[in-house]
């Protein structure tokens, strides 16, 4: 259960300097943003930039040379939302330029992450002379060497950390671009190449926005502008395939993208044994209403199956949980594509690092998820048992030989006992606001701050001792009608959150929004806690 710290904030300075209302000003003040960050958040400048970096220009020049020489370009993508959108952006760009091209996103289970030398060899056999990665490639040393041996031009476009020299002909990466592009996702990098070749393109911008949200990129600098532009494009319905995945395109924001679009795209890669992630690219680029409708139905079915299977596997995995401070759980019935989801659910529930492993063709493959304050990547990185390993502080992917599982598990438990890690309950700061500071104008003003970077999205507001006019239990929610100085506030509690309701509430804690329904406008709080 999350703990809350009620904080009082004097935001009068920001209110005067920027002409802000109390809710926006208190949120910005509590986040301790710099003046530069506040200015960026409030800026109405949404014009996208064109990168002048040498790597982008060199890449564009080589692709145009390929068109002139009638060469074929092969695009190697990745199976998550960022990689899928990156592939679609590059496919659309090359098509618009009239360049012969093909693409391939690897099978998550049979081939794994990244460009493989076998794929390179097949591309060469089919007459491709330029091979180009999107959202991957900085670790594809074997594939790069194979391509160079076959005389192919190698273009790597990626945003992941560069840990060793990349022996490509051209490398396009945020580290080699101007500072304002430092927050780009893989699709963001692809977008800059696309813009250098075909200029403004709403479909490519919207895809890059979805990818940035899906890859949880920092919503600052150029990425912030990409997401803001993408949201406005999605509201117009200019990308019909993405619109089909939204409940209501007119209400699109970063939250809608994160919960309505991204999981559906990711589900195909996770369930690649019953679906083909490569079919997502033509879907995303389609303008055929019937084809979009048919595919959307299938996509929703795959996503629902993903939900059901991950819930069932989480219940099974719980049965294997022990009192150890680090759990390694294996079952030959687990689905490899769902290991990360299951590990995340259990890590959040039991407040300890969890690794979930499934049976692969010859190895056990899976994912680990951590808890705040515990660097899972650093902890596991030195174990000799691992056949493959990658990730970051809070999430890792790994492979291990079946015969090494017992020794690996014992070694992990020994090392865990030697650490001094103690899980501490996360504390969320709740910004105290007075009743007369809450109203329609104040809540709608906060829309100016969107999309909210993590520095702002982690905060909630607290209302102290409001008068409760009514409490109603409904099918999936409980609603409180609260009397405030400027009118009424509807506090909504979703049942699945299991929020405790004290008899005499002192604080209602949550996030404010305006609900527009059947010509009625209501100020709401999506309640996270009642204290």
Is the peptide bond preceding residue 451 cis, with omega within 30 degrees of 0? yes
The Cα–Cα gap between 434 and 463 comes to 7
Q: Is the pLDDT of residue 66 over 90?
A: yes
Give the per-residue pLDDT at 361: 86
Q: What is the pLDDT of residues 288-299, one digit of tens each?
A: 999 999 999 999
CB 390, CB 396: distance < 8 Å = yes
Q: Strand, helix or coil at 470?
A: strand
CB 113, CB 84: distance < 8 Å = no
Give the per-residue pLDDT at 133: 98
Give the per-residue pLDDT at 113: 83
The residue-averaged pLDDT of 119-131 equals 97
Q: Is the pLDDT of residue 240 over 80?
A: yes
Q: Is the pLDDT of residue 163 over 90?
A: no
- Listed in sequence order, the DSSP H helices in 322-418 are 339-350, 376-380, 405-418
Pairs from 450-454 (Cβ < 8 Å, separation ≥ 24): 450/228, 450/253, 450/254, 451/213, 451/219, 451/224, 451/227, 451/228, 451/231, 451/253, 451/254, 452/219, 452/254, 453/41, 453/218, 453/219, 453/220, 453/224, 454/218, 454/219
Q: If pLDDT is split at 50, 70 and 90, which confidence band does 330 have?
A: very high
Q: Checking DSSP bridges between strand 477-484 and strand 487-494, what pairing results, if any?
A: antiparallel
The residue-averaged pLDDT of 64-89 equals 97
Q: Is the pLDDT of residue 485 over 90?
A: no
Domains and CATH numbers, the chain: 3-8+427-530 (2.40.50.140), 54-290 (3.90.1640.30), 326-418 (3.10.310.30)
Give the per-residue pLDDT at 156: 98
Give the per-residue pLDDT at 336: 92
| Contact residues for 460 (Cβ-Cβ < 8 A; gap 6+) | 4, 428, 429, 430, 431, 509, 510, 511, 528
Give the per-residue pLDDT at 481: 95
The residue-averaged pLDDT of 78-86 equals 96
Q: Strand, helix or coil at 8?
A: coil
The residue-averaged pLDDT of 35-43 equals 95
DSSP state of 79: S
Q: If pLDDT is split at 50, 70 and 90, which confidence band does 1 have?
A: low
The Cα–Cα gap between 250 and 208 comes to 19
CB 160, CB 137: distance < 8 Å = no
Give the per-residue pLDDT at 470: 94
Q: What is the pLDDT of residues 436-454, one digit of tens each?
A: 999 999 999 998 899 999 9
Share of the chain above pLDDT 70, in %: 100
Query: What one-character-per-residue DSSP string does 40-54 give?
Result: HHH----PPP----H
Q: If pLDDT is split at 50, 70 and 90, which confidence band does 128 have?
A: very high
Q: Strand, helix or coil at 98?
A: coil
- Which candidate, 304, 264, 265, 255, places its Cα nearest to that of 82? 265
Matching residue, tokens 């389609």: 286
The residue-averaged pLDDT of 309-328 equals 95
| Contact residues for 239 (Cβ-Cβ < 8 A; gap 6+) | 202, 203, 206, 207, 233, 284
The residue-averaged pLDDT of 27-53 equals 95
Q: Is the pLDDT of residue 127 over 90?
A: yes
Average pLDDT over all residues of the chain: 95
The Cα–Cα gap between 405 and 360 comes to 13
**Tokens representing residue 177 in the block:** 């671009």
Give the per-residue pLDDT at 339: 96
CB 181, CB 220: distance < 8 Å = no
CB 367, CB 383: distance < 8 Å = no
């Amino acid at each position: 259960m999350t703990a809350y710290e009620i904080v009082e904030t004097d935001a009068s300075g920001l209110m005067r300097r920027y002409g802000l209302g109390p809710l926006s000003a208190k949120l910005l003040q509590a986040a301790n943003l710099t003046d530069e960050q506040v200015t960026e958040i409030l800026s109405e400048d949404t014009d996208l930039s064109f990168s002048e970096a040498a790597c982008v220009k060199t890449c564009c020049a080589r692709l145009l040379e390929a068109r002139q020489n009638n060469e074929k370009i092969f695009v190697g993508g990745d199976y998550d939302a960022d990689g899928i959108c990156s592939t679609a952006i590059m496919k659309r760009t090359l098509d618009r330029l009239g360049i012969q091209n093909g693409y391939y996103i690897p099978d998550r289970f049979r081939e794994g992450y990244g460009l493989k030398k076998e794929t390179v060899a097949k591309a060469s056999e089919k007459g491709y002379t330029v091979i180009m990665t999107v959202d991957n490639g900085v670790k594809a040393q074997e594939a790069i060497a194979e391509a160079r041996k076959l005389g192919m031009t190698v273009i790597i476009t990626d945003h992941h950390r560069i840990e060793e020299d990349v022996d490509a002909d051209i490398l396009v990466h945020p580290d080699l671009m101007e500072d304002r592009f430092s927050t780009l996702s893989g699709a963001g990098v692809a977008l800059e190449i696309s813009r250098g070749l075909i200029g403004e393109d709403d479909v490519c911008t919207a895809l890059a926005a979805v990818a940035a949200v899906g890859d949880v990129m920092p919503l600052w600098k150029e990425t912030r502008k990409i997401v803001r532009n993408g949201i406005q494009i999605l509201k117009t319905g200019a990308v019909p395939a993405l619109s089909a995945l939204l409940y209501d395109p007119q209400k699109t924001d970063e939250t809608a993208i994160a919960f309505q679009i991204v999981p559906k795209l990711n589900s195909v890669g996770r369930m690649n044994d019953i679906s083909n992630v490569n079919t997502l690219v033509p879907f995303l680029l389609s303008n055929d209403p019937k084809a979009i409708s048919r595919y959307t139905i299938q996509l929703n079915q795959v996503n629902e199956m993903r939900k059901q299977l991950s819930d069932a596997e989480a219940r099974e995995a719980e049965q294997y949980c022990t009192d150890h401070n680090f759990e390694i759980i294996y079952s030959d019935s687990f689905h490899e594509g769902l290991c990360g989801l299951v590990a995340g659910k259990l890590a959040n529930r039991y407040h300890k690092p969890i690794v979930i492993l499934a049976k692969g063709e010859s190895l056990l493959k899976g994912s680990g998820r951590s808890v705040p304050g515990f660097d899972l990547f650093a902890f596991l990185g030195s174990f000799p048992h691992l056949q493959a390993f990658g990730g970051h502080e809070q999430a890792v992917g790994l492979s291990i030989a079946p015969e090494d599982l017992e020794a690996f598990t014992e070694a992990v438990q020994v090392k865990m006992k030697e650490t001094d890690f103690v899980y501490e309950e996360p504390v969320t700061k709740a910004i105290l606001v007075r009743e007369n500071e809450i109203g329609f104008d104040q809540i709608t003003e906060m829309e100016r701050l969107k999309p909210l970077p993590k520095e702002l999205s982690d905060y909630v507001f607290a209302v102290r001792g409001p008068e409760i006019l009514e409490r109603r239990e409904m099918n999936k929610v409980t609603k409180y009608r609260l009397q405030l100085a400027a009118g009424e506030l509807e506090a909504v509690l979703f049942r699945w959150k299991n929020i405790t309701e004290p008899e005499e509430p002192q604080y209602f804690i949550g996030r404010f929004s305006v609900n527009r329904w059947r010509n009625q406008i209501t100020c709401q709080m999506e309640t996270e806690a009642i204290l």
